[in-house]
A and B are shown apart, each in its own frame.
Chain A
Amino acid sequence: MNDNPVLRCIVLVCCGLVIAMAGGCARWIEMMATPGGNQEGQSQLIARDERVPFIMDNIRITRNGSPQNPSAGTEQRILGSFEEIGLFSYLTGTNTAAPPANEKVIRARLSFDEAIDPHAGDAAWKGIVIGASMFILAPFIPLEYDYAAHVSLELERWDGQIKHYESQSAGTARYNLFGATPIMIDELKGHVTENCITDLTRQLVRDTTFFAASSAPIGEPGIRTVSVKSHAPKTSGSTSTVIPVSVPAEP
């Protein structure tokens, strides 16, 4: 057998490089256990003509507490998931025309609160260390990106009864420097969102009888009143804000 030390060194260096590159490109997603996440999905029965339409009235999205523009993609994904469970006759989004007033419908208001922690400070320090080591430490220093979502759904039945549903999920993307891609973050957000929606649909299915057309008579036709008010901005430290107050003039 040819026992060439140079060849042995080259093989060892190549193996080391392959292992380092493979380690440096690693990435994985860890999902936190969600309450009720392990529950089996129970199926319920509902007659076809007992199903009522589902109308998404409003979607509110916040990211780390700051309001965001609701995306059509998010709405479509949520409506698509609700459509899959077969509980409603049809589903419409926020931009579609309202159904006739005397129709039995479920109106929905959804709040989607995202919490993102990219560990920017950690990433910066780790980046400096990795760079200073000429990227040798890249396979051994993992970076992290946390994403959590809390979804609350308010469903109003045609007779005015309201039910609240909530779900939350969180996950962490762990990656080495060379394994980072924008897709990784999308994957993490996708998994967390899917967990939330699955939990919501599970809760909806549990309340199937509540949404059946025969569960309540349609409300008396007439003038239905709604309260109208301006949206109060959620600002921190608003105690110092000066609000002008004036007394109406005597007639």
Chain B
Amino acid sequence: MKPHSFSAVVFLGILLWVLSATCQAEEIMPHLTVGTQEVGLSAGYLLPHRLTTEHTTKQSGPAFMPSWAMVLTDPIGDSWYRGQILIGAEIVYIQFERPELTHGVGFTPKIKYLFEGTHRIRPYVEFAGGPFYTDLGGRIPEESARFNFVLTAGGGISWFITPQLSFNAGYRFHHISNAGTRLPNIGLNSSLPFGGFSFYF
């Protein structure tokens, strides 16, 4: 079986399980209080953005992001923006398939604002940044160093299947550069649509 076929089968299996769990659940009301921990795993595919004429590399590849976060506040705000702040960290692993097979790994503290939404479907926005090591640096005209930093900002939707489990889907904008520690430092910009799940306990 090809890897893509295997992934499709796994995805379909998860989807069927989710749908059956949804049908059984009568009322899903996640009760996230101060100190609630979130552990999750997301995966997506990096797509290149060449924002200037100096950007020539079409970097792309799958990304995996195991993460941890903790609810820092009770719900704040009284309007549509009512939600909770989470702080945490995640490990970002990217396998660059193009322009050549290389790898990158980083550690990024992150802050997340989880809107209250409809309780069961909760949108969120998040921002993360931290060090990122990749052997793609030095092989492309945009980045000369292997030690870089990654900054990401994006948003998504958490769909609570049970009060302790949510499936997430979202989008992130990725920026990789070395903060001017070595030249050239044009930076790599990418889009990262992703999906994943989180456990709350």
Contact = CB atoms under 8 A, between A and B. Distances in A.
Contacts of A134: 107, 109, 130
A145 B33 CA distance: 12
Contacts of B76: 120
B33 A120 contact: no
Interface in A104-127: 116, 118, 120, 123-124, 127
B73 A124 contact: yes
A177 B87 contact: yes
A123 B89 contact: no
Contacts of B89: 131, 135
B125 to A, nearest CB: 13
B87 A130 contact: yes
Interface of A: 116, 118, 120, 123-124, 127-128, 130-132, 134-135, 143, 145, 175, 177, 180-185
A127 B109 CA distance: 10
Give the one of A116, A123, A184 with max B CB within 10 A: A123
Interface in B114-158: 130
Given A145-B34, A182-B34, A185-B35, A118 B74 contact: yes
Give the one of A120, A175, A183, A185 with max B CB within 10 A: A120
Contacts of A175: 35
Given A131-B109, A175-B35, A182-B33, 15 more contacts: A118-B73, A120-B74, A123-B85, A124-B72, A124-B111, A127-B87, A130-B87, A131-B89, A135-B89, A135-B109, A145-B34, A177-B87, A180-B72, A181-B35, A184-B35
Contacts of A184: 34-35
B35 A120 contact: no
Given A118-B74, A123-B73, A180-B70, A131 B87 contact: yes
Contacts of A116: 74
Nearest to B86: A127
Contact of A182 (B35, B72, B109): B35
B181 interface: no
B111 A120 contact: no
B110 A131 contact: yes
A145 B70 CA distance: 15
Contacts of A123: 72-73, 85
B36 interface: yes
B33 A185 contact: yes
B111 A128 contact: yes
Interface of B: 33-36, 70, 72-74, 76, 85, 87, 89, 107, 109-111, 130
B88 to A, nearest CB: 8
8 contacts: A120-B74, A120-B76, A123-B72, A127-B72, A131-B111, A135-B109, A175-B35, A185-B33
Contact of B109 (A118, A132, A183): A132
Contacts of A132: 109
A177 B110 CA distance: 14
A127 B85 contact: yes
A181 B35 CA distance: 4
Contacts of A131: 87, 89, 109-111
Nearest to A27: B35
A177 B34 contact: no
B70 A177 contact: yes
B34 A180 contact: yes
Nearest to A127: B87
B188 to A, nearest CB: 22
A183 B107 CA distance: 29
A169 to B, nearest CB: 20
B85 A120 contact: yes
Nearest to B107: A134
Contacts of B33: 182, 185
Nearest 6 pairs of A and B residues by beta carbon: A131-B109, A180-B35, A127-B87, A120-B73, A181-B35, A120-B76
A206 to B, nearest CB: 37
Contacts of A118: 34, 73-74
B62 to A, nearest CB: 26
Given A118-B34, A180-B34, A181-B35, A143 B72 contact: yes
Contacts of A177: 70, 87
